Structures are given as C-alpha cells and as structure tokens.
C-alpha cells in the first residue's frame, strides 16, 4: 500500500557531454526523467512507499524506464505496457554562462499521451494512499491525458486522498490560453498547489506585491488550501540562492535559505515537491518546506533528473551541513 501515488510521463533524456551543442555531438549521455517520476523517486528516497502510474511502450525503452524506476525504489505495479504509442525522448543541451541550457522534446504520441479515461483502475490504485501528485505537464500532453488527470483527481477525492499539483507550465507543450482553461478546470480539486509567481501572472493574471498576495489570489480563485513556491535571490546560470515558501490559512512560512552550485537543475522542483509531500503527510507545511528546500538544493548538485539522495544527507543539509546559508 502506497502513501503517495503520482501520475505522468517519463522520458529517455539524451544529453551531449562536456557542454557540447547537439549539432556537434558524437555521443549522448542517457538518463531518464519525468516530473512526477522524479517526485515519486524523492519520496521513495525518504522512505515512503510510492506508486508511479503511467503508460509505456511494450519495448526495450519501456523496460529501460521501469528498470530505473525499480532501482530508485518506486513501485511500477500500476504502470501499463501498451502496444500503442512510443517512449518520449528529450534532448538536453547544457549551457554555460551566458549561453542558456535548452531542451528539445521528441515526445509526440507517447504511450501515456494516448491514455483515455477508463484505462486505469483508480479505485485500486488509491486504496490506502494519502496523497496524489501530478504536474501541469501531464494534462499538457493531450486532451485524453488531461481528461485522465481530471478522472484521477475525482477518484482521489472520492477515496479521501488529498491532491497536490505542481503547475509546472511548459510553453513548449501548450499555449497559455489553452493551459489556463484546462488548469482552471483541474485546480478546484487541488489541496496543495506549487506555483511560481510568474506562472500565476502569465496564466491567470494573478499578481501581487509579494508571494503571500499571489498565493491569496490563487486560494480565492481556485479554492486550493495551500500554495507553495520559492523565493530567489540573484539567480545566476550556475548558482542559485533560494528558499521554499508556503501559504496556508492566511499565514506564510519560509524554509532556510540555500546557496547551491548548479550541476543540473532538471528535477530540482520535483525534488522540492517530494520534500513538501513528506511534510504534508504529517499535516506539517513547515516541515514540508524544510525538507523540500533541502531536497531541491541537493538535487541541483546531481546530474540527471532523479534525486538519488539519502534521507540522512537531506537531514544533514537541514542541520546546516554544506549548503545552508545564514540569513
């Protein structure tokens, strides 16, 4: 029985080594990643039983992904191997200041993007679970995937499972108006929302003088209970200084600040989501922000999208070892 269920796509990631451009590459480093799988992995590393739900093609690339899923400690019991669709790929070119990193998706018609309502037995999947997590990437994959997210959220609520969503707007997957329309339908079913102030403004026109005002706007528009984001200072291409911040019942909470050297920022937000849910499982937002910020900080230092962390090192970082900075 899982504490947490996540639903989404995982892709094979291919990146040229040594800061090469894709067009000059002779070889590509292989990792796997997908927002909800990354979060599931973070929760597994903190010791929680987690189910990652998805559809993968019934071929060696699907097997490659589930091999890694099991290695990182996540259950793939409800992953479906499909005869339709394909395994999504993405190419990542690492930048070096002032050249930004860039991503090229090759994921159209992936097996999970072909998902339809009725394909997953949500009642069985949510049995005994406490939280369901999904990102705004999954409903962006296709109209069918968006409907399945809606179906899963309803099933979660019927089963008494709380819903966490990371808005995670990806402009390469859908336009702003379409995203606002679909996410606007999903958000009233969400308990805890992770959102950046930029996405709140860009998608919903919600602005404010600070995080608390934006969060209050999201709470009143969509009825979510809790909003979580990050505060950043002078972000540079290879250094980041940030804290996690949360708003609930009219109060704002903040984690310690971390200054990190960025080896690979992909999946840092998903690692933060894992720490957040770890705290929310105890009904403790401040604990979630503290674990989330430490997990996000440590993930920046690791290559690949998955947070190959231990609970001990996360807690050591929270105690001030290494990364944490005084304010």
Measured over the CA atoms of residue 276, residue 69, residue 90 and residue 149, the dihedral's sign is negative
| 292 binds ligand KDG, rule: CB under 6 A | no
- Site size toward ligand KDG (CB under 6 A) is 10
Residue number, 138 or 255, with CB nearest to ligand KDG: 138
Q: Where does 109-175 have alpha helices with state H?
A: 122-126, 137-140, 143-158
Shortest separation between residue 126's beta carbon and ligand KDG, angstroms? 22
Measured over the CA atoms of residue 161, residue 166, residue 171 and residue 177, the dihedral's sign is positive
Shortest separation between residue 321's beta carbon and ligand KDG, angstroms? 26
Per-residue contact track with ligand KDG, 129 to 148, x per CB under 6 A? Answer: --------x-----------
| 270 is known as an active-site residue | yes
Residue number, 114 or 212, with CB nearest to ligand KDG: 114
Candidates 29-37, 57-65, 73-81, 228-236 — which segment interacts with ligand KDG by CB under 6 A? 29-37
Closest CA to 291 of 306, 273, 268: 273
Contact 37, 8 (CB under 8 A): yes
Shortest separation between residue 184's beta carbon and ligand KDG, angstroms? 21
Closest CA to 244 of 295, 202, 204, 307: 295
Residue number, 38 or 255, with CB nearest to ligand KDG: 38
Which position among 2, 3, 7, 33 is part of the footprint of ligand KDG (CB under 6 A)? 33
Residue number, 57 or 267, with CB nearest to ligand KDG: 267
Task: Tell me if the bond preceding 299 is cis, omega within 30° of 0.
Answer: no
Per annotation, catalytic residue among 270, 282, 290, 312: 270
| 305 binds ligand KDG, rule: CB under 6 A | yes
Torsion of CA 195, 160, 131, 140, to 10 degrees: -50
Burial of 59 (0-12, 13-18, 19+ CB in 10 A): middle
Q: Please give the full DSSP string across 53-110, using - where no structure is assigned.
A: E-EEESSHHHHHHHHHHHHTT-B-TTPEEESSSB--EEEEE--BTTBPPEEEEE-TTB
- Please state, in angstroms and rounded to a whole number, the distance separating the CA atoms of residues 96 and 211: 30
Shortest separation between residue 81's beta carbon and ligand KDG, angstroms? 20
Residues 177 to 206: which contact ligand KDG by CB under 6 A?
A: none
Shortest separation between residue 37's beta carbon and ligand KDG, angstroms? 8
Per-residue contact track with ligand KDG, 245 to 284, x per CB under 6 A? Answer: ---------------------xx-xx--------------
Shortest separation between residue 305's beta carbon and ligand KDG, angstroms? 4
By the criterion CB under 6 A, which residues form the site for ligand KDG?
33-35, 38, 137, 266-267, 269-270, 305
Could you list the active site residues? 270
């Amino acid at each position: 029985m899982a504490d947490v269920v996540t639903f989404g796509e995982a892709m094979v990631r291919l990146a040229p080594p040594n800061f090469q451009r894709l067009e000059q590459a002779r070889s590509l480093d292989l990792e796997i990643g997908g927002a909800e799988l990354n979060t599931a992995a973070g929760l597994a590393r903190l010791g929680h039983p987690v189910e990652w739900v998805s559809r993968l093609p019934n071929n060696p690339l699907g097997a490659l992904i589930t091999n890694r899923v099991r290695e990182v400690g996540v259950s793939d019991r409800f992953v479906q191997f499909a005869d339709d669709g394909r395994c999504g790929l993405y190419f990542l070119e690492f930048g070096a200041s002032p050249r930004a990193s860039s991503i090229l998706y090759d994921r159209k018609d992936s097996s999970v993007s072909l998902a339809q309502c009725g394909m997953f037995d949500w009642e069985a999947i949510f049995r005994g679970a406490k939280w369901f997590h999904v990102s705004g990437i999954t409903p962006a994959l296709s109209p069918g995937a968006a409907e399945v997210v809606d179906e899963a959220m309803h099933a979660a609520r019927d089963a008494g499972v709380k819903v966490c969503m990371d808005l995670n707007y990806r402009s390469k997957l859908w336009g702003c108006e379409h995203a606002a329309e679909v996410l606007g339908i999903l958000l009233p079913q969400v308990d805890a929302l992770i959102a950046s102030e930029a996405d709140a403004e860009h998608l919903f026109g919600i602005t404010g003088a600070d995080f608390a005002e934006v969060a209050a706007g999201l709470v009143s528009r969509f009825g979510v209970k809790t909003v979580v984001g990050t505060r950043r200072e002078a972000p540079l291409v290879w250094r980041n200084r940030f804290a996690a911040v949360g708003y609930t019942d009219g109060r704002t909470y903040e984690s310690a600040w971390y200054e990190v050297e960025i080896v690979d920022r992909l999946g840092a937000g998903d690692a933060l989501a894992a720490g957040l849910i770890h705290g929310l499982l105890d009904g403790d937002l401040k604990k979630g922000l503290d674990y989330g910020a430490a997990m996000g900080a440590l993930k920046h230092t690791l290559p690949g999208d998955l947070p190959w962390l231990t609970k001990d090192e996360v807690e050591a970082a929270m105690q001030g070892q290494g990364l944490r900075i005084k304010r």
